[in-house]
Structure 1
Amino acid sequence: MSSEILAVLKPYLSFFHPVTMWILLVVALYAMYLGVQVRRTRLADGDIKKELVKSRFAIRHHQIGSILLALMVMGAIGGITMTYLNSGKIVIGPHLFAGLGMVGLISNSAALVPFMQKHDWVRSIHISLNLILLGLFGWQAVTGVQIVQKIVSQMMKNGAA
């Protein structure tokens, strides 16, 4: 890619990662809702269970989880790449470590899925990993806003110069 094109796109690309991550936070909360409905369906009896099964919560949870896994990994790569393009270095700090931890948590959570049908304890680990992931995700959202504020103030300072 030529440096002229990169220079034109750079201000817009800087916001791709944060916007994507905020969307993914909402998607993660939706995946959690679906997971709760899957559990509710599994524990229900009789006609209630028949009604819940019609909503196909398990299939939707699995599909949304797969999309979330792929986009979170790509979003992390994109965030690290944009940091490097903007500053010429990778900023080593809590936001990076927590983001990498999130990638590790979601990939391990997804890796447990084939084993959840036979072992309840695996399902418990899956749920625990995802709750930790959501906690980290919320914290990442807050620290990400702080980083975006720094980027915007830097852009304003450079634009005023």
Structure 2
Amino acid sequence: MNPELLQSLKVYSQFVHPILMWVLFGLTIYAMYLGVQLRRTRSAEGEVKKALLKGRFNIRHHQIGSILLATMVLGTLGGMAATYANSGKLFVNPHLLVGLGMTGMIATSAALTPFMQKGNDAARYAHITLNVILLALFGWQAITGMQIVQNVVNRMTGNT
């Protein structure tokens, strides 16, 4: 394979993770919206419940959650791989550690689904709590991630 092409792929691979994570941040907000609507549907009655059921919030929430889980796990691994490929090492910093923790949180949150489907309210509250914390950490990750992207751009342009 062409060495210039490989170098170009190596350089631009550093931007796939941040772009993907911003998309996931937006999807996480949407998943939370769907979860709130699902909760409203569960507690509604009569005509309001009939109208909310038409939104199929349960199916959409599960689908988006599945996409989030898979993409976050792969995005975390991809970000680490791109960092290692470009730097020859991983930088153990709060951004990496929080990202790994978030990956564990979303996996744990998804693992609660069978218990919630059986009506376990403790699992439901744990799921909600984990995801609210996850969303807050995602916001923090977005800020620290953009600082890292700025450092990468500065190194590429020679502005240190």
Counterparts in 2 of 1:42-53, with a 5 A limit? 42-53=42-53
Q: How far has the Cα of 1:3 moved from its partner?
A: 4.6
Q: Deviation digits for residues 91-126 of structure 1, max 9, x if unmatched? A: 001000000000000000000001002211110000
TM-score, normalised by the number of residues in structure 2: 0.95
The TM-score with structure 1 as length reference comes to: 0.95
Over the residues paired in the alignment, what is the CA RMSD in angstroms?
A: 1.2
Question: Using the alignment, how far apart are the partners of 2:104 and 2:3 within structure 1?
Answer: 34
Q: Which residue of 2 aligns with 1:120?
A: 121
Cα deviations by residue, 1:66-99 (Å, 9 ceiling, x for unpaired) = 0000000010001100110111101001000000
Q: Aligned pair 1:20/2:56, yes or no?
A: no
Aligned residues: 158
Amino acid at match of 2:44: A
> Which residue number in structure 2 is paired with residue 139 of structure 1?
140
Deviation of the 1:36 alpha carbon: 0.2
Post-superposition CA distance 1:100-157 (Å, at most 9, x none)? 0000000000000010022111100000000111111110000000000000000001
Percent identity of paired positions between Structure 1 and Structure 2: 61
**Structure 1 alignment gaps of length 5 or more:** none
Q: CA deviation at 1:45?
A: 0.5
Task: Using the TM superposition, give the Cα deviation of residue 13 of structure 1 relative to its aligned residue in structure 2, in angstroms.
Answer: 1.1
1:7-156 matched pairs, under 5 angstroms: 7-117=7-117, 118-156=119-157
Is the Cα–Cα contact under 8 Å of residues 11 and 86 in structure 2 kept in the other structure? no
Q: Where do 5+ consecutive residues of structure 2 fail to align?
A: none
Give the aligned residue type for 1:126: H
CA shift at 1:4, angstroms? 4.0
* Contact 2:106-2:134 within 8 A present in 1 as well: yes
- Hey, what's the Cα distance between the residues in 2 that align with 1:68 and 1:2? 35
Amino acid at match of 1:46: G
Distance 1:2 1:124, change over 3 A: farther
